[in-house]
Each structure stands twice: as C-alpha cells, then as structure tokens.
C-alpha cells in the first residue's frame, strides 16, 4: 500500500467534525434542558405561595368563626332557658352558613333542639 504524505485525510477530518458537532449539540441540549427546568421551578413557586396564603386565610376565617361560636356558647350558658335555645339555634345557623353542616344535619340538629 502506498502511504500518503501530508495532513489527515478527508474521511478522518469529516469524522472529527462529526464528533465535535455531536458533542456540542449534546452539551447545548443539556444546558437548554437545565434552563427550562429552572424556569419551570421559578414559575411554579408563586402559585404555591399563593395557595399557601389562600389556605392560611381560610384557616384564619374558620378560627374567627369558631371563636365567635364559643363566645356565643358562653353567652348561652349565662342566659339559660329560652335565651339558651335561641343562642343554640343561632349557632346552628352560623354553622350551616359556614358550610360546616349540610341541610340534613342542620334540620336534624334543629329538630333535636326544639324537641328537647
């Protein structure tokens, strides 16, 4: 066989170019994927914070309703008799409006209260 003199042949140059190009593409794709993942994380963070703030607001509202009901119950104990029954009815209405009692539960509790 005859040896060639000079630099690398055309096939070896093409192969080297293909390897370099493939490596550059792989690195570029990896960097792009990391950037997209980072952007998605940043985008989800405000939504999570908003949901937490909304849930905390609902918890505070339920706590204030509970405190009002407890104060009303203390007042009921002080009134006795008919006043106590009216206060308990008001508590049932408040629980129904807050969504803590279904219509059936409200009716059953009201019936028990008025019956006895």
pLDDT digits (tens, 9 = 90+) for 70-86: 777 777 666 666 777 78
- pLDDT score for 104: 92
pLDDT bucket at 15, cuts 50 / 70 / 90 = low
pTM of the complete model: 0.34
The domain locations on the chain are: 10-115
- pLDDT score for 88: 83
Phi-psi region for residue 94, left (φ > 0), alpha (ψ -120 to 50) or beta?
A: alpha
CA-CA-CA-CA torsion for 55, 56, 62, 68, nearest 10 degrees? -160
User: Comparing 32 with 42, which gets the higher pLDDT?
Assistant: 32
pLDDT at 99 over 80: yes
Highest mean pLDDT among 12-16, 68-72, 98-102: 98-102
Q: CB-based contacts of 8: which residues, under 8 Å, 6+ apart?
A: 16
Buried b vs exposed e over 60-77: b needs ≥16 C-beta within 10 Å?
Answer: eeeeeeeeebeeeeeebe
């Amino acid at each position: 066989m005859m040896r060639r003199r000079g630099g690398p042949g055309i096939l070896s140059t093409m192969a080297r170019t293909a390897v370099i190009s493939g490596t550059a593409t792989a690195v570029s794709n990896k960097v792009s994927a990391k950037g997209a993942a980072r952007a998605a994380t940043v985008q989800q963070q405000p939504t999570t914070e908003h949901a937490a703030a909304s849930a905390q607001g609902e918890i505070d509202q339920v706590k204030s309703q509970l405190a009002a009901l407890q104060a009303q119950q203390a007042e009921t104990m002080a009134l006795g008799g008919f006043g106590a029954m009216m206060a308990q009815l008001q508590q049932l209405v408040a629980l129904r409006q807050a969504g803590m009692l279904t219509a059936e539960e409200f009716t059953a509790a009201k019936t028990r209260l008025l019956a006895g």
